[in-house]
Every structure is written in C-alpha cells, then in structure tokens.
Structure 1
Amino acid sequence: MTEQSTFQDLGLDSIAVVEVFVVLSEQLGVEVDDAQALPGTTLAQASELLSGVAPEVQ
C-alpha cells in the first residue's frame, strides 16, 4: 500500500468508500461531499480532502 493506492486497489467498492469518508469526516470534523468519495480516489487525495486543503477530486 502506498499513497498512490486507490480505495479500489484496497478492495473497497463505492458504498464502502462513502462509508469510510463519512466516518473519517465525522471524526475529523471535516465536511466532504459524497461525490468526492470515489473508489478511484488515492490515499493521498483522501488525505488532502480530509485535511480540507484539496480541490475536488476528478
């Protein structure tokens, strides 16, 4: 696993990715649009989204 691994690489489907983002955003107090929680999102992108510094993932 590297920062360029995607959630899909880790075996998560789209529903599981949304669930991960919901839990992490609640724990961290950061709002993340569900449309940004995609299976192709890398761990690096997720980190940036959850830290509130990244633009929308495409």
Structure 2
Amino acid sequence: MTHNLDFWLPNVNMVIEERGKQLPRVEIEDHNQYEMINNAKRNIPNGINVFRPLMGGYVLEG
C-alpha cells in the first residue's frame, strides 16, 4: 500500500499547496499595473479577491 502513488499523491499535493501559499507575491511593476489591479478590485463581486501571482520557488526538497 505505501508504494502506491494513489496513496501518497493527495498528501503530497496538500504539502505543495501549503508551501506554495507561503511564497511572496510578485511585486507591482508600474503605476499602470497598480491602476489595473485597483480597477479590478472595484469592479468585482464581493467575496472575490484580486492579487498578483505568487512568486516561484521550491516547494519540495529531498
């Protein structure tokens, strides 16, 4: 059972997602991007958030 990837993959995926959430956000590059993000935030329904993407990084080691 422990050698079966179906057993491990859901847990590995959870670890990757949690570690990925700890990475910082990409910085806003210029005033135009800043305005686009603020405009999007004003024009979307409540409960939806607008953020820059997360930076890349290592999520697994070993």
TM-score above 0.5: no
Greater CA radius of gyration, 1 or 2? 2
Q: TM-score scaled to structure 2, two decimals?
A: 0.29
Q: TM-score scaled to structure 1, two decimals?
A: 0.30
